[in-house]
Structure 1
Amino acid sequence: MPIYEVNINEFSTDDYTLIGIHTALNEYKLAYLLNKHLQVKFNRASYDLDFIQKGSQSSYTVYEYTNVKLCQGWFLIANVYKSTLEVESISLFKESESISHLIPEKRKVDFFLKLEGDFDYESIVKKIETINQIPQIITSYKIEVNSLKSKDFLIF
């Protein structure tokens, strides 16, 4: 009887483009501006990316848009989660703020734009140029997915 072996890497799909966005905007304002400038329709997803790391829970917001005609999925994902903890010790401040990142090796990136489907190189470059022309956005650029250690957090 033959023995079949399954490689876990066969199930992970790295068939997406990742764009890092630096901005001080909230996620809903960024989604609105991307809708306006890229002619897409981001909506708040019915789910968040929830993780429990080192005993603390973090939840990263997700906005999504699906272009059925072109078989494309767009996802706007927050990279930063801020939580407020009450401090029991006697100090000047009664609360402390804890910040966690979805992709720790890209701490300076505020949001990720994950593009799934058939996108050619020129369309990606045009999208990045359009995003960079939005005054409230500091910069955006393509991120090499294979260089990320935490890329599995972006598979959902």
Structure 2
Amino acid sequence: MQIHSLGLEDFCEDEYSLIGIHTALEDFKLAYLLNKNLGTSFYKSREDLNFENQQKKASFSIFNYASTKYDFDWFLIANSSKRENQTELNELLLTSETKTYLIPEKKKVDFFIKISGDLAYSFVLETVGKIKNIDQVITSYSIDKNTLKSKDFLIF
């Protein structure tokens, strides 16, 4: 009798495509331009993507869109989180800024679009092309999620 066992990775592997975007735009302005050019309806999530450990707190903005036509969930996620630190030294208030990255190996990427579902690669390339046509976007491209060390941060 043959026995089949399931590992934890069989349950945790979420099928999604990932697009990286380089731009100097604010998150809400990028969401607006994506809505205009892709025909999406991104809206600000009620809560940001928050991470906390002993040394750091990081909060990454996230926008959602649920496609009823294709039954895909889209997420626009900021890759960086800035936090101001204030210290007082001899009656002088010093301010420094700490920048934390959601995916540290992709520090140059400003935003990610995560599209949940089993997508045709041609659909992803078409979406990337439309994003590249936005004047304020420097570039965008598809990212192979299997090359990321920190891909677990994209599971939510």
Q: TM-score, normalised by structure 2?
A: 0.91
Is 1:38 matched with 2:38? Answer: yes
Point out the more displaced range, 14-23 or 91-100.
Answer: 91-100
- Structure 2 match to 1:13: 13
**Structure 1 residue ranges (4+ consecutive) displaced by more than 4 angstroms after TM superposition:** 3-6, 90-93
CA displacement at 1:91 relative to structure 2: 9.2
SS in structure 1 at match of 2:153: helix
Deviation at 1:97, TM superposition (A): 0.6
Change in 2 beyond 3 A, CA 1:40/1:87: same
Q: Which residue of structure 2 lines up, in the alignment, with residue 95 of structure 1?
A: 95
Tell which deviates more after alignment, 84-93 or 57-66: 84-93
1:69 counterpart residue number: 69
Q: For structure 1, which segment, 146-155 or 118-127, has the greater mean C-alpha deviation from structure 2 after superposition?
A: 118-127
3-state DSSP of counterpart to 2:9: helix
Match of 1:62, as an amino acid? I
Q: Does 1:126 align with 2:104?
A: no
Q: Which letter maps to 1:69? A: K
Tell me the CA shift for residue 119 of structure 1: 2.2
Return the offset for 1:89: 2.4
Structure 2 unaligned blocks of 5 or more: none
- Give the structure-1-normalised TM-score: 0.91
Q: AA paired with 1:144?
A: D
Cα 1:140/1:92, change in 2 over 3 Å: farther
